[in-house]
Structure formats: structure tokens, C-alpha cells
A and B are shown apart, each in its own frame.
Chain A
Amino acid sequence: MSLLEIEDLAVHFATEDGPVEAVDGVTLDVRAGEILGLVGESGSGKSVTAFAALRLLRQPGRIVGGAVRFDGTDLAVLDDAAMTPMRGARLALVPQSPRTSLNPVIPIGWQIARVLRHHAGLDAAQARRRTYDALREVGIPEPKRSYGQYAHQLSGGMCQRVMIAMALAAGPQLLFADEPTTGLDVSIAARILDLFRELRARTAAAIVLITHDLGAVASICDRVAVMHAGQVVEIAPVRDLFRHPVHPYTQALVRSIPRLDRDEPIVAIPGSVPALLRPPPGCRYAGRCNWRSDECCGTRPALRKREDDRRVACFGVEAGRVPAI
């Protein structure tokens, strides 16, 4: 059953030249205890979707339609006073660039402890003890010593772990991780991904992994949602998605990645992401798609259930035009 249900979400950014339609009719769900990968290139709207769900969007961005149902409550219509207690305590975010997200002049231990004092109402001593636990849980060595360190004294991987500890401190049910492995070395990134897997097992929190790294997705996600230009094009269990990608964009994405284990030519995705300022009506991948039809260019395809647990938004797939790979 779903912990988070995003239905037909639309987000616009007001600019001098008109609204930029960053998110257009996004529908997806996150189930309790799962790791959902949210994949797409820059500008695909994946971060914006997460921020919209957390109600962290700032002007000129705003939600113009749709619902974000978390455990029954529609977050999209809550005001700030009602939303603030939920952030951190029930929904949390691990933002991009961990080092710049940490306050540079406050020791990292304090920053975690503050979260605990605020949400769990602990006093200073209790918060400190719980922080040591939190640091240990995310694999930071020597918690007592690390407590007093500053962000610049820690490596990128360590900063990321601190951010994860902060996000999990108050025991949220849902965690958004925004590009947690970008900028990290391969071996460090692998360990962070392992950490997510461990944490999911230990805390039963659901995790939404926002990334453009398909390898990361393949290694820890249960299901994957693929976004393109503000629209969700395919949601499927991870194995199915990689073995047999159905949507043309997913297929193109998988084919464009150089592989370490195979010797295959790569094929670049044709065309480029359409402008979101006055976006084409209909499917936004149509301009780049080999199997487009007039219908694709006029109407937006809805996510339709296929076999098992897979949903695809493509007229070509429904009509059987798109070959399977």
C-alpha cells in the first residue's frame, strides 16, 4: 500500500516570458519500505517533484494542480504552519551537495542534535547521546570525536553520511535523497548506496532516490520511475526496466550508457529536451521519438498499466509500434 501518492501534479515557474511548465501531470506512488528510483536528465523535473512534495518550492515556482497524498493528507493544500512539523519528522530530504548544505560554522554534531531537540523534544544531554548513535548508524567512525568536527574537516563521503544522519534523526517514514552519489568517488558512492540499503532494512523507511545514475538505481532500487521533460514516462520494477525497457525514452537511455561489462557501441539519444516555456502539447518526447504519430503530438499519453507492476505512458507502445528490446 502506498505511503505517498502523487497524482497529476503540475508545477509552474513564473518568468518574464511566461510560465515554465516544469512538472506536467506527474503521477507516481511510493510504497512503504521500498526504494524508488526517480530517474531523468537535468530539467526532467525530478528534483522539482520532490521539492513540491515537501512543499519546499519557492517563488517563482508553485504547485498549480494535482495532489500529493501522504498517509491520507494532501500536502499540496497544507499551509506552512501545518507542513513544517511534518518535515523532518515524517518526510525528510537529503539535499544535493552535502558539503554546502551543512552549516560551515557549527560543528556537525550540533546540527544533528538540533534536529533531535526540535522534533523529539530531547534535552541537550539526551540529544547528544542520540547523536552519537545516529553517527554510528551511518558508519561515521569515532562518533564522540566526529561530533565536534566542522564540515570542511570532513570528506565528501563523510559529509553525505552526516546529512543522512540528520535526515533520519527524527525517524521519518519517507526520505528523499537528491543525487546522493553525484560528485562522490566510485568507491565512496558504492558505500553510500550500501548504507541506504542497510538503513532501509533497519528503519523500514521508504526512500526515493533521485538520480541520473542508472547504475546506482540498478544496484539498490526496487522500482524505478523514469521522467522526461516534466512527465513520467515509465514506472516499473527495476529488473524489468533494465531487462526490457518499454518506453522509447527508457530504451534510448539504457542504450546510451557505456558499459564496463560489455563491449557495445553506444547510441546517443536523438534530439534534445524540449523547451518547457511553451512546451509542445502532447507527449514531450514526441519530438525525439522514432515512433511518433500525430496522436502523440496532440494529446498527452496517460500512464497505463501493462503486465505486472509496470506502467507506461506511450501511444506507440499501446499500439504496438515500439519494438521490445
Chain B
Amino acid sequence: MKTSSDPLVSASRPPPAERGVRAPRWRRLRRDPVTLAGLCAILLIALAAALAPWVTPFDPDDTNPEIALQPPSLSHPLGTDLYGRDQLSRVVAAARIDLLVPLCATAIAFAIGASVGAVGGYVGGWADQVVMRIVDAVMAFPAFVLAMGITAALGNTVANVVTAIAVTQLPGYLRLVRAEMLRVREMEYAEAARTVGNPTWRIVFVHLLPNCLPPVIVQASLAMGFALLTMAALSFIGLGIAPPASEWGAMTAEGADQMVSGEWWLFLFPGLAIVVTVLAFNLIGDGLRDMLDPRMRGVR
């Protein structure tokens, strides 16, 4: 990243007094169709998930063997499954768990990882070294294998799935925040914060951590996508959310069984739901980071 000491950068950027009136954050979204698309998609999915009980045409758990394995039609736009349940209602209902679990897992991983990374990066010393070695060990496991191991060992409840995913993501946040902290703690404003009388915890969490976050925000949005994929994969192999609960991964697994006999709608729609959601998460990462950066206001 070019710094302002680069003469071409400083010569190409108008002096600070010139930047016009700050544009409110939402107005900038209009110039950023990518982020806008991502955000709209997520909002829609979230809305559907929240209003599921009132919005779905049928009860997602309502089995009706007579209409089993029906292709998409007017009454059942996404078809019906092996047990006669309406796919559309199931896909919408599954959105709840498929948004909540990644969200919780990411939030937990971020909260713990960022805090430990920030403190370790600032304080250093042997404790930091020990933590880093533990992180190295955890990261040596393929993430999915680790998640599998944890859910297999603890049982596949929602809480355990969240834990498993959080554990696989935590080291990433820890390392990222720690690396940023190593850079940021050398800045003069960190020294100024000390001179003014701040206790160490305030310097780390109030002054420095917010400045470590920009790369983490992008990472977090991508990680949400990964979390969803991990959960779906776990369910796919039977270690995630157990049936009869609606969950896109489990539904895709059921659909895969039926693929050979030609019932394509069973795996396609839940699979598409996963793809669209993960894509939406990926798209909003950069835009979200820019929105939260005070320096990006009013600059093209």
C-alpha cells in the first residue's frame, strides 16, 4: 500500500483541505453496485429467514407422502422432497440456521481471536510466543478435518457445530490482528495514548484495535462464506445439523441421493441457496471495510 510519503501519491492526491463535504455513508453505496448487490441479497435472505413462519406457503416439516418427489409446479415452485415436504418452505426455513450458525461462529471466532491477537501483539513476550505455537498447531490441521473431529467427538448439536467452526476460524483472526498490531503499536499515536495516561488495556482495545480491523473485516465476510460452506459440508456428510431439521447442506445431501433417479430439483435449489449466500458475503467484504473507514469519506 502506497503511503503518503510516496511523492507520486502525494502529488496525485489533492491536499487535505480540498476534500469536499463528507458524503454520508449510505450515499457512497450507490457508487458501489457490487457491495450494494451483496448487501441487498443478504438483507433479503435475512428477511426471509426472519419472517419464515409467516412467509412460507406450507409448513416445512409437514410430510405428505402422496405428493412426494414432485417436480417444480405452480403449487410447489421448488418441488417436493422424498417425504412430500414443500421444498420452497424448507429452503426458506433453513435460511435461519444457515445464517445464524455462520454468524455466531464468526462472531465468536472474531471476538476471541481478535482480542487474544491484539493483546499478544501488543504485549509480546513468552506468553505471546506460546499462544502463537498453539495457533500454529491448530492451523496445521486441515480446517474441515478439524471441524469434523470436533463435531464427531462432541456430538452434532447446533452449539457444537458453532464451536467447531469457530475453532477452525479463530487462528486466522488471531494472526491477522496480531500482525496488524505489531505494525500499529509502533505508531506515534500509540505513544501519545500512553503519554496521556491511558492504561494498557485501553490502549490496546480502544486506540489500537480499531486500527487493526480493516483487513479483518474483509476476512470476516469471506469467513462467513466459508463457515456456511463448512456447515453445509458437515451436514452433507451427516456430522452437522441432523435431519429432520431443514438445513441447506443436509438438503443437498438428500438431493444428491436422488440425483441418479433424475429428481434434480432436490439438490439444485438448496445448493443454489448456498452459492448465492456465500457469494453475497464475499461481495460485501471490501465495501464494508471502506464504509467503516473514516478516511474514505468523500474520496472517490
Contacts and interface: CB of A to CB of B under 8 A. Distances in A.
Q: In the complex, is A directly touching B at CB under 8 Å? A: yes
B14 A276 contact: yes
A17 B298 contact: yes
Contacts of B11: 47-48, 51, 57, 61
B262 interface: no
Contacts, number: 64
A58 interface: yes
A276 B8 contact: no
Contacts of B18: 15, 17, 20, 275-277
B197 interface: no
A56 B17 contact: no
A154 to B, nearest CB: 17
Q: Which of B8, B18, B21 has the most CB of A within 10 A?
A: B18
Nearest to A51: B11
Contacts of A275: 17-18
Contact of B19 (A17, A43, A56, A178): A17
B12 A61 contact: yes
Interface string B17-40: 111110100000000000000000
Contact of B20 (A56, A59, A277): A277
Contact of B14 (A13, A56, A57, A58): A13
Interface string A37-64: 0000011000110010000111111000
Give the dominant DSSP class at A's interface. Answer: loop
A57 B14 CA distance: 13
A100 B8 CA distance: 12
Given A47-B7, A100-B6, A15 B14 contact: yes
A277 B14 CA distance: 9
A96 interface: yes
A15 B5 contact: no
Contacts of B299: 15-16
A18 B300 CA distance: 11
Contacts of B7: 47, 51, 95-97, 178
Contacts of A96: 5, 7
14 contacts: A13-B12, A13-B14, A15-B18, A15-B19, A15-B20, A16-B300, A17-B18, A18-B20, A20-B15, A57-B11, A96-B5, A96-B7, A100-B6, A276-B15
